[in-house]
Amino acid sequence: MSVPALSGRVFLLITGASQGIGRQIAESFAPLLGDGSLVLLLARSASGLQETAGKLSGKIKVHTVSVDLSTATADKLRDIIGTALTPAGAKQFEKAVIVHNAASVGDVSQSTVAMTDFQVWRDYYDLNVFAPAVLNGVFMEFFNADAKVARLVINITSKCGIEPFKSMAYYCSGKAAREMFFKVFAVEYPNVNVLNYSPGPVETDMLRTVQTNIGDPEVKEAFVQLATSRSALTTEQTVSRLVKILESQNYKSGQHVDYYDSGY
């Protein structure tokens, strides 16, 4: 398969790459990259990152950095990307791709009126909204118009960003804010290809956390049903769909595209 957005000499950055969807994106994207490409994998788990790196093709370079994105400063992120690029810089690549995947579901046991701790809100938004926004800005500093590379930004979003689910106000509000940020980015920078991809219900640790801890009984039953009916998607299924969407390019930059949407 040839995916134009991922072909040639590519710099690919993936957050949350130590497990789940992030790991699968690395595994599925890597074979599509051309010789001389570099994959930068970020996550908190150093061992998980090494496991992911070990699954990638030897034809590309892989750089892993264990980092807590919720506390990393812009300068720290500049250092990480700059070190990976080496003195040759951004111009050695034909394309630059960043996948904002890292996220947490937050406390799903509470209703909205119980969410009264400012620090919990700040911690949640630091990782899920502020970190991808700042990282995206830093990434674009390196891969600006002067670098003359084609740029693709993928934000892993959720149906929860456009539809409310009881007991999931942290997650729903965070996904909504994050998606809108990338929609604004898309209209500000029309020469950057931006996709908000909603992967559907995927069998991951996050899904299992929701199934176990969700406070609202109605929503809990719906999520538990995914397990009993075995209807949750595998990471391979959802990332394969993402690749096909990128191959078709049949979306408007910044658009929310769900796994189940037709026409892609």
pLDDT tens-digit series, residues 156-176: 999 999 999 999 999 999 999
Identify whether 219 is part of a domain.
Answer: no
Does the residue 67 lie in any domain?
Answer: yes
DSSP 59: T
The runs of H, that is alpha helices, within the chain are 20-29, 46-54, 74-85, 118-125, 131-142, 169-188, 205-213, 217-228, 235-248
Per-residue pLDDT of 212-257, as tens digits, reads 999 999 999 988 888 788 889 999 999 999 999 999 999 999 999 9
Read off the tokens for 174: 């965070």
Residue-by-residue DSSP string for 140-205: HHHSSGGG--EEEEEEE--GGGTS--TT-HHHHHHHHHHHHHHHHHHHH-TTSEEEEEE--SB-SH
Is there a domain that residue 123 lies in?
A: yes
What one-letter code names the amino acid at 242?
L
- Domain that includes residue 252, residue range: 4-202+234-258
Residue 264 resides in a domain: no
Task: Check: CB of residue 42 under 8 Å from CB of residue 65.
Answer: yes
Number of domains in the chain: 1
Side by side, the strands of the sheet bearing 256-258 are 61-66, 38-43, 10-15, 95-100, 150-156, 193-198, 256-258
pLDDT value at position 224?
87
CATH number of the domain where residue 120 is located: 3.40.50.720
Pairing of strands 10-15, 38-43: parallel
CA atoms within 13 A on the CB side of 55: 19
Look at residue 251 in the predicted model and tell me its pLDDT. 97
Kindly state whether residue 212 falls inside one of the protein's structural domains. Answer: no
Report if residue 197 sits inside a domain: yes
In this structure, are residues 95 and 6 in contact, taking their beta carbons and an 8 Å threshold? yes
Give the pairing type, strands 38-43 and 150-156: unpaired
pLDDT at 59: 86
**Three-class SS state of 214:** coil
Q: Within a 10 A sphere around the Cβ of 45, how many other Cβ atoms? A: 15
Rg (the chain; Cα; Å)? 18
| pTM score, whole prediction | 0.96
Low-confidence ranges of the chain (pLDDT < 70): 1
**228 falls within a domain:** no
Q: What is the pLDDT of residue 264?
A: 84
83, part of any domain: yes
* Residue from 131, 132, 31, 139 nearest 85 by CA: 139
